[in-house]
Structure 1
Amino acid sequence: MQKSALKSWLALSASSLMLVALPAHAQDSLGDTVVDTAEDVVITTGTRRALRSAADTPAPVDVISAVEFTANAADDVQDLLRTAVPSYNVNTQPISDAASIVRPANLRGLSPDNTLVLLNGKRRHRGAVIAFLGGGIADGSQGVDVSSIPSMALKQVEVLRDGASSQYGSDAIAGVINFVLKDDSTGGAIEAKYGSTYDGDGDNYRFGANMGFALGDQGFFNVTAEYGETDGTVRAAPRTDVTALVAAGNTAAAQNRVINGYTDEYAQYWGQPDVENDIKLLFNTALAFNEQAEVYATGTYAERTTTGGFFYRNPTNRGGVYRGPSVDADGNLGGDLASVRVGDLDGLGVGEACPAGIPLSGTDGLIPDATVLAQVTASDNCFSFIETIPGGFVPRFGGDLRDFGLTGGLRGLLDLGNGLSYDLSVTHGASRVDFFINNTVNASLGPNTPRDFIPGGQEQSETTLNADFSYLLDVGLASELSIAFGTEYRKEQFDLFAGDAASFALGPLADQGFSSSSNGFGGFPNSSSNSQDSIGTYIDLEAEVTDQLTLQGAVRYEDFSDFGNTVDFKIAGLYKVNDNVSLRSTFSTGFHAPTAGQANITNVTTQNVNGVLVDQGTLPLNTAAGQLAADFIASQNGGNTPELGTEDATSLSAGVAFSAAGVNVTLDAFQIDVDNRIALGANVNFLEALQFAGATADTVGGALTELNAAGTINRADFVGLDDLAQFRFFSNSFDTRSRGVDLVARYPFGFAGGDSAIAVAANYTDTEVTNRGDINPISDGRVQSLEELLPNVKGSATWTHSQGIFRGLLRANYYGKWFDTGNGNPVGAEVLVDAEIAAEVRSGVEFAIGASNLFDNYPDENPGFGGSGQLYPEAAPTGFNGGQYYGKVRINF
């Protein structure tokens, strides 16, 4: 089917929703909940009082049913959250190193690790990936990989839009997301789904099944399995430098233009990464011994392979591989011609001498001088990559991810008056990613370099022990006083695994300006393991003081082995003015502790800075390179060196919920102040740091060699840093203030003989950097990213309707204007429309078709796309794949 015909057909299908029936979801009296029935849903997030509904909590809690959650072209839980929760943002990561494998997400404009993620009420372990390229907002974060959770396993998703560190511990600054799992003991569903983009790429499919089994009369075993794959997309633009190379006669450069079937147009892979062998398994089970005790367990396993692209390496000017010094027409130093670097394989000053570079002449100075190139090619001692890879190259980077988690516990009720309930549990989880990078080089190895490398891997593992208790005490109030208390011990470990030798080797050409390590993502030279632990205790009180007033308070003490201790609290209240109007407010403090990985990892990555590829490094302060960095920073700050500890937060929210003429509305305002945020500080010029240490050379490689000869450093401690332009490090740096408003409204009504509902959810968030930091202040670009990279306004309006055998959905998603800090241009607002229509053709058998971004909208094009090959902004919250369609069949039994 042609693209235009497909769009017309889908638009016609969407319009027909006005005439046929689509599914309805009801909402609680506060308007926060979108569920399958009109009854209030019992929640477990934000309160430890049993049988509490979202309508009765002082803090706003959204409850998203599985039906609404999965009415989308996407299957990844992160993309589903982006549609369902207005303040949740996540985008495609085409060229973002490890962030392409575990994408960073933001709730209320804060860092990914400022959101606590729970699975059935238990803390979920972090992902293995530290997002060094997080678009400024998420730089350096290490969040949870929620993509490893199968969507078919979900009963509902509870989103607490409030600070909750005093209740749950570290990370719960922006809010809490609790994935509640299905617990059916009978029945199940099988689903098959296929989709693609209007452009004909990005094909994806998924097979899934969920089944429940009874364990005697007192238990259940619910299991879910999903398998799928997603092809990559290409949304690149022709690069002007490649076009010029081809026009000048570099036929090899034209061969780089064959990517995923797109020929003679694009030079690099830029688009949605490929995801292969995406396997997700999950079980949830419980078995009661009697009416007062049961054992329970939850287990998850996931794996997938993600492959993305890197930027094109130009054969005339890529530093450390191709770019040579200024030379004369014969290739000797001292001229004014650009050149391609030449290596002397037996060493400088030994045996046959080689030209310093091959002059670039011809059209626009893009073609190597034929005479000097012939001289280098004929010599066994002289080498240039223009001989073996004359058209440049495009690395392909990815990783194999494995993630598992297991929780086991015992819960029940002790017969002590009003009853003391208990929940004793152990949770262990781990996430590991093993990286690979192909079609690249270790330039320092010269002609002996491999083209494919295994740079190593990372693993995050966590073990958590919880003992939670609650008790109801009659103190003469309108309700019994709920007293909850408990303790938590948590240990986390971050392991780094060394790569293959070639991925970090310091080859024989390193002292001649050729960069070491696998180009684009250097291998880890050593394996390491670092851990930390913490112990916390809390008490949580809640009661209905009067029939109209509910109060809640909590205090938590947390002590970290590496970062000291903290005390945090929360007070909250709900006042029911009458049956139709309620007021609510909270005030709390919170904290987030750095991870063992953030404190100890070394990483070098290639970043696009104003159209120029620059190698940026992250250096922990406990390494030789980190100590050099600290000395340089101290020299600029009166001897003050950076420190790494917890960040602190203060949150305030106030809201109103009311119902009138059948319309339920909630409006909540919030303010979150985060001080001493854990961040990667401003980039520091590495060459200047080396020169501060005593080097006089004007290149990083030369400075390292010089300092090594002088005995100032050990060259082996700086493997992989030869082409490093900038470095940064983790520290407590800047302060921010985020202010905003959440609006949720719902109106159920009858229409055309069926049941309809219109739901509106919107968020406004404005983030301001109130302090850029003293010792190592963040850069202007980072400030701008924090304040402007995300839309201030985001929301959706959804119409659902059900009638007879039909059900469906029509949703408009609004993304406000934002600023693309990576490319320096404003991006306008967009509206994306989603639609789904389904029919139960026979009992338990349903067919559905739908589309996301029905009218094929794209973000504003990048004004400078010819230089980078990025046709659309990488950080676009709407994505850049355009329209996507899908069809699915579901069998319920």
Structure 2
Amino acid sequence: MNNNASGSLRLAASLPLLLMTAPAMAQTAGEGNKEIEQVIVTGTRVANRSALDTAVPVDVVSGEQLQNLGVSEVSQALSVTVPSFNFPRPGLNDGTDTVRPATLRGLAPDQTLVLVNGKRRHQSALININNSIGRGSTAVDLNTIPNAIIQSVEVLRDGASAQYGSDAIAGVINLRLRTDNEGGDAGVIYGWRETSYDVLVGSPPTNPPGANFSSPPRRSRDTSDGETLTVSAWKGLPIGTTGSVVIAAEYKDQEHTERGGYDMRRQYPLVNGAYDPREATFDRYNSWYGEPELDQKTVFVNAEYEVASGASIYGWASWQDRDAVSAGFYRIAGDDRNTIQIYPDGFLPLIAPDVVDISAAVGTSWRLGEWDMDSSLTYGRNEMDYEVRNSLNRSLGTASPTTFDSGGFDYDQLTLNVSGVRTVDVGLASPLNIAVGVEARRETFSIHAGEPNSYLNGGVRLANGNPTQSGAQVFPGFRPENEVDEDRTAVGAYIDLEANITEKFLTSVALRGESYSDFGENLAGKLSLRYDFVPQFAMRASVQNGFKAPSLQQQYFSTTSTNFIGGLPFDIATFPVNNPAAIALGAQPLDAEESLNYSLGAVARLGDLTITVDAYRIDIEDRIVLSENLTSPDVVNYLTGLGFVGIGGGRFFINGVDTTTEGVDIVMSYPWSTDAAGRFDFTVTANFNSTDVTKVPTTPQLSALPTPPILFNRFNVLSYEEGTPENKFSAMINWTLGGWGATLRATRYGEVLSPDPNPTLDFTLSATTLVDLEARLAITEHIKLAFGADNITDEYPDPLPPQNNLTGTQSFSNYSPFGRSGRFVYGRVNYTF
């Protein structure tokens, strides 16, 4: 454990002792302005339980907090309100530029379970296979749910597999939808990036050869880009006298940002040994490296209706279509990958995913004797199709098209739930709350091939006679041999018991068993305790084992590219684990990840001031990871000897990484009302987090080779251990006075390591503080204006040094926890119905 984590745990151990003084302090603080605590439904199945009365930590983010930001994304809002939630914004990562991963408590994106109205949300079809945070994971895309439909978000910062099933190792995010039967709001937000940053620069080559500079100068670049228009509305309507329907819609139009920097390479072939005159006029800010272009349309409907018998019927439906455009690396005119007759000045290949996401649910709740019953059927589908633009298939020569359909994939999930809750008086200080339920789930995943030109090799060779790579550049299409159509089923059952053993001692026990058709059974249990020493101070703890089932995407994702080695074609593949070549390298059917979670915390109420401190430790065994590319000569010779001729190696998913994560979350809030100056709401959060990789995978087949390849190298180990902030602090003040209001927020991200395959090029990103400011004014009872800026001081991560940015076109690391797009200035107008 590093010193930061050790200090964090010592802090967690000492703070409860300090908070034991709460009773005395509370006497002097007064209780005249005691706040009404918000009732939650996540982490407990007891009715009317508040966030501060639970045995586990739960954050509640209101719909208003989601709106008081310029960048109106659910993940972005959670990243500045939940202490251990992070939302990096990688670029140059294919589909991950469009569906970006988020992390909770330093774990993988797919180790956090996402619910909507308490029901499991479907995952994205995308699996992250490039070098970014979340590599090898498949997660839920929170940005498929518009802010306008969200009443609040509850974030359970504690493992909960025994309560909710697979994926809840890090915690649970539950989005609660609006149920209003009247009222509504329509809003327009317009903003753009107004920013200045330093880039490496150099003069276009005019002197002796060499496009790179050992110590190039820096220059400040001013730019205005990333214009974003978001139009949204929601309206609540009655259904008879006992029901409601809320209809929400959102449209977002976002232009891309360019933070790639100054391309210092020689762009054109030499002419008679001299530089081409076009070098002096070429636009060297030729890359897209930032936010993608988006054209996104979303509709979401949520409804409920109480029938005469007292039963209720509820349901929701959603649809989103997201057209995105991002880019790869610029191919210079003189690049072997370019066909100069098509692109005389080189080209920037564009990747344009079209993402369609739909969901629907119908359910009913009713009374059965002493039981409150609930049953629901939910369906979700996410599909992603790739179009490649402004590119070419070099092996087709001048006959190559410039636009390609590269195929895509889809994932869907159908879930049936039946549950019941009741209380029984068993002689304890409170009735025993009993919750039982069963769940059946069916999932499918499929890949469909692209058009032939997107993947084939046309046979046109380079000028030197060597063959060239197959397929569309930036994203070669899926081939017919990559196509899959797989499914699985899972059935689970749980029991959840909660009661006050004494007036001060709360105990909760949960047990859940699940059976999967593809990997077998799992049993998870959880014990949570809370002891209220006095009304103003309590301690809480939990211990549990959890699991995450391997996703269908991890088991069956497949893609292939052809490289030429010594003039011969070799297929380099991402193999599914059931592929014979992968099995020959040691791949086995994937099993569930298993975890042990421990937490210890304290809750203090000092008048209106509330403080929570929660320390956690999460031990995970057999994490599922994507192996390195296994393409060494030893691997190729081994495969060839087994009869796999033309297979140049590849990679596959494998269990076998063990990690230990330790950390502390601190949350403090204080409301202060004054007669003259209005109301102030103060919130301060902090997170300290450390992960250690304690085991990496091996296979007997690869270990027996003369030079055994490494399945999970130091680059990926360091991504786990130091690729997310070692600490994060946030402070927010929200002020209201009559029709006026303002929000001031500061978020400090601790140091992050940007690892490099070459250990000498590892680069540490310094701690950075971002400040957001928004001012609001209600012009009339119905019209409200807001103006503000996210990252108002225009902070950037440390620019990569020259040795990490040889071309000048990748100025910043993808490991920055807040991206690299600079200041976002915006205005918003809302009309309330």
**When the two structures are superposed, what TM-score results if normalisation uses the length of structure 1?**
0.80
Instruction: Report the secondary structure of 1:200's partner residue.
Output: strand
Please tell me whether the aligned partners of residues 55 and 540 of structure 2 are also in contact (alpha carbons under 8 angstroms). Answer: yes
- 1:253 and 1:124 mapped to 2: Cα distance? 52
Equivalent position amino acid for 2:505 in 1: L
Cα deviation, residue 109, structure 1 = 1.1
Inter-partner Cα distance in structure 1 for 2:631 and 2:536: 61
Cα distance, 1:809–1:605 mapped onto 2, change above 3 Å: farther
| Cα distance change of structure 1 residues 487 and 242 upon mapping to structure 2, 3 Å threshold | farther
Report the Cα offset of residue 100 of structure 1: 1.1
Contact 2:52 2:603 in 1 (8 A): no
Distance 2:65 2:639 in 1: 59
User: How big is each residue's C-alpha offset from its partner over 1:392-442, in whole Å with a ceiling of 9 and x where there is no partner?
Assistant: 32211120110010010111212x2xx201111100110011101112222
**Which residue does the alignment assign to 2:275?**
249
Structure 1 residue 774 displacement after superposition: 3.1
SS at match of 2:226: coil
User: Aligned-pair distance for 1:89?
Assistant: 1.4
Q: What residue number does 1:741 align with?
A: 664
Partner in structure 1 of residue 319 of structure 2: 301
Secondary structure of 1:84 counterpart? coil
> Partners of 2:63 and 2:280 in 1: how far apart?
48
Q: What is aligned with 1:880? A: 820
Q: Structure 1 residues 821, 152: closer, same or farther in 2, change over 3 A?
A: same
Q: Which amino acid aligns with 2:581?
A: L
CA distance change for structure 1 residues 67 and 37 in 2, over 3 Å: closer, same or farther? Answer: farther
How big is the shift at 1:729? Answer: 0.6
State the shift of 1:219 in Å: 0.5
Alignment pair present for 1:690 and 2:614: no
Other-structure match for 2:21: none
CA distance in 2 between counterparts of 1:605 and 1:650 reads 39
| CA shift digits 1:183-229 (9 cap, x unpaired) | 00011111111111113200001111111011111110111111111
Given the superposition, is the C-alpha separation of residues 175 and 63 from structure 1 closer, same or farther in structure 2, using an over 3 Å criterion?
A: same
Superposed CA deviations along residues 488-524 of structure 1, whole A, max 9, x for unmatched, are 0111100111101111113234895211121221111
Pairing partner for 1:188 from 163, 184, 196: 184
1:400 aligns with 2:354: yes
User: Residue type of the partner of 1:107?
Assistant: L
When residues 388 and 405 of structure 1 are mapped into structure 2, their CA distance, relative to the original with a 3 A threshold, is closer
| Structure 1 position 317, deviation (Å) | 5.2
Using the alignment, how far apart are the partners of 2:36 and 2:269 within structure 1? 66
> CA RMSD, aligned part only?
2.4
Which residue among 517, 532, 540 is the counterpart of 1:576?
Answer: 532
Equivalent residue, structure 1, for 2:739: 805
Counterpart code for 1:153: I
Distance of 2:181 and 2:117 partners within structure 1: 17
Check conservation: 1:246, 1:253, Cα contact below 8 A.
no
Cα distance, 1:810 vs. partner?
Answer: 0.5
C-alpha contact 1:530 1:597 (8 A) present in aligned 2: no
Cα gap change, 1:291/1:585 in structure 2, threshold over 3 Å: closer, same or farther? farther
- The partner residue of 1:541 within 479, 497, 505 is 497
Q: 1:494 aligns to what?
A: 445
Which whole-Å deviations, capped at 9, do the CAs of 1:25-44 have from their partners, x for residues lacking one? xxxx9xxxxxx993111111
Query: Which is worse superposed, 56-65 or 284-293?
Result: 284-293
Q: 1:838 aligns with which of 744, 755, 776?
A: 776
SS in 2 for 1:676: strand
Counterpart AA for 1:212: G
Query: Structure 1, residues 358-389: CA drift from partner, whole Å, max 9, x if none?
Result: xxxxxxxxxxxxxxxxxxxxxxxxxxx34544
Q: Which amino acid aligns with 1:303?
A: D
In the TM superposition, 1:761-780 aligns within 5 A as 761-775=685-699, 777-780=711-714
Structure 1 window deviating more from structure 2 (388-397 vs 48-57): it is 388-397
Q: Is the 8 A contact 2:752 2:815 kept in 1?
A: no
SS in 1 for 2:130: coil
2:121 to 103, 120, 124: 124
Q: Of 454, 476, 501, which residue of structure 2 is paired with 1:503?
A: 454
Partner of 2:472: 518
Of 175-184 and 90-99, more deviation after overlay is shown by 90-99
Say whether residues 1:282 and 2:300 are aligned partners.
yes
Name the counterpart of 1:151.
Answer: 147
Say if 1:104 and 1:134, in contact at 8 Å, map to a contact too: no
Question: How much has 1:644 moved relative to structure 2?
Answer: 1.3
Distance 1:566 1:403 in 2: 30
- What is residue 173 of structure 1 aligned with on the other side? 169
Q: 1:292 to 1:514 in 2, by over 3 A?
A: same
Q: 1:246 to 1:845 in 2, by over 3 A?
A: farther
CA shift in 2, pair 1:774/1:802, >3 Å: same
CA drift of 1:391 comes to 3.8
Q: Verify: 1:789 aligned to 2:723, yes or no.
A: yes
Q: How far off its partner does 1:236 sit?
A: 1.4
Amino acid at match of 2:162: S
SS in 1 for 2:35: coil
Question: Could you tell me how far 1:85 is from its partner in structure 2?
Answer: 1.5
Contact 1:97 1:605 in 2 (8 A): no
Code of the aligned partner of 2:689: T
- 8 Å contact kept, 2:86–2:104: yes
Q: For residues 222 and 554 of structure 1, do their structure 2 counterparts lie closer, same or farther at Cα, with a shift above 3 Å needed?
A: same
1:231 correspondence with 2:255: yes
Partner of 2:621: 675
Q: Secondary structure at the match of 1:72?
A: coil
How many equivalent pairs are there? 744
| Aligned residue number for residue 342 of structure 1 | none
Once residues 270 and 612 of structure 2 are traced to their aligned partners in structure 1, the CA distance between those partners, rounded to angstroms, is 59
Q: Do the aligned residues in 1 keep the contact of 2:341 with 2:398 (CA within 8 Å)?
A: no
Any gaps of 5 or more consecutive residues in structure 1? 1-28, 30-35, 258-263, 323-384, 608-613, 635-640, 696-706, 719-723
Q: In the alignment, residue 140 of structure 1 is paired with which amino acid? A: G
Closer, same or farther: CA 753–621 of 1 in aligned 2, 3 Å: closer
Give the whole-Å Cα distance in 2 for the aligned partners of 1:654 and 1:606.
Answer: 52
SS of aligned partner of 1:173: coil
- For 1:251 and 1:430, the matched residues in 2 are separated by 53
Instruction: For 1:540 and 1:770, locate their aligned partners in 2 and report how far apart those are by CA, in whole Å.
Output: 33
Aligned partner of 1:369 in structure 2 is: none
Pick the aligned partner of 2:289 from 264, 267, 270. 270
> Matched residue of 1:556: which SS?
strand
Partner in structure 2 of residue 411 of structure 1: 365
Mapped to 2, the partners of 1:291 and 1:82 lie a distance apart of 43
Q: CA, structure 1 residues 118+602, in 2 after alignment: closer, same or farther (shift >3 Å)?
A: same
Deviations 1:761-802 (CA, angstroms, capped at 9, x unpaired): 111111110112232641011101111111111121001111
Where does 1:521-600 land on structure 2 (aligned, <5 Å)? 521-526=475-480, 527-600=483-556
Report the Cα distance in structure 2 between the residues aligned to 1:840 and 1:246, rounded to whole angstroms: 64
Tell me, in whole angstroms, the C-alpha distance in 2 between the residues paired with 1:246 and 1:474.
88
CA contact (8 A) 2:557 2:575 kept: yes
Q: 2:309, 2:54 → 1: CA distance?
A: 28
In the alignment, the residues of structure 2 paired with residue 556 and residue 83 of structure 1 have an alpha-carbon distance, to the nearest angstrom, of: 33
C-alpha contact 1:238 1:866 (8 A) present in aligned 2: no
Q: Deviations over 1:679-737 (max 9, x none)?
A: 11233125542222348xxxxxxxxxxx9xxxx4576xx6xxxxx7x621101020111
Partner of 1:215: 239
Q: Is the 8 A contact 1:253 1:391 kept in 2?
A: no
Contact 1:131/1:139, CA 8 A, preserved across alignment = yes
Deviation at 1:650, TM superposition (A): 0.8
The answer on whether the counterparts of 1:245 and 1:253 sit within 8 Å (CA) in structure 2 is no
In the alignment, the residues of structure 2 paired with residue 448 and residue 107 of structure 1 have an alpha-carbon distance, to the nearest angstrom, of 48
Whole-angstrom distance in 2 between the partners of 1:397 and 1:524 = 14
Which residue of structure 1 aligns with residue 22 of structure 2?
none
Task: Tell me the amino acid that sits aligned with residue 204 of structure 1.
Answer: T
Unaligned 5+ segments in structure 2 are: 1-25, 27-32, 195-222, 564-569, 700-709
Determine the C-alpha separation between the residues in 2 that align with 1:65 and 1:748. 15
Quick one: which of 569, 594, 609 aligns to 1:663?
Answer: 609
Aligned to 2:29: none
Query: Contact between 1:284 and 1:298, CA under 8 Å: does it hold in 2?
Result: yes
In the aligned structure 1, how far is the partner of 2:711 from the partner of 2:47?
46
What's the offset of the Cα at 1:268? 2.0
Alignment CA distance shift 1:447-1:55 (3 Å): same
Amino acid at match of 2:366: G
Identity of aligned residues (%): 34
Deviations 1:589-638 (A, max 9, x none): 1111111121111135899xxxxxx9974211333xxx33442x35xxxx
